[in-house]
Amino acid sequence: MLADDQAALLVDADGLVLAGAYFEAGGTDIGDEVSAALCGVSDEALRATRYLGIGAWRNITFEAEAANVNIAPVEGAEGALLLVAGAPTIPLGAFRRAVMRCSQVAATWWAEQ
């Protein structure tokens, strides 16, 4: 589903990888480290959106030197997150399509568990 320069992780509320992988440039899977760092992001995003009164959070997208990253809650899975990352050279439209496909797959996978 994803190109070699993209990654996707499905992370539970405790920061554990449920599915996916995140390979750094050297070929090492750093998914466990990334998912552990994400522990609590969902709670913080929820707290911030409540404080600001802007409604439920749907995703956070940021562009960085090393990658474009999207983090989103998984529909029907409280505290679970989906992280999709791609090389900064990927056009943002293509990146957003990959995010939407991964979100659909994650929600379906979660519903079947």
pLDDT in tens, 52-67: 999 989 999 999 998 8
DSSP state of 28: -
Taking alpha carbons only, the member of 109, 106, 111, 113 closest to residue 83 is: 106
Taking alpha carbons only, the member of 77, 63, 82 closest to residue 22 is: 82
State the pairing for strand pair 68-74/60-63.
antiparallel
Tokens of 51: 């404080």
Domains of the chain: 6-112 (3.30.450.30)
pTM for this entry: 0.87
pLDDT in tens, 66-111: 889 999 998 888 888 999 999 999 998 999 999 999 999 988 888 8
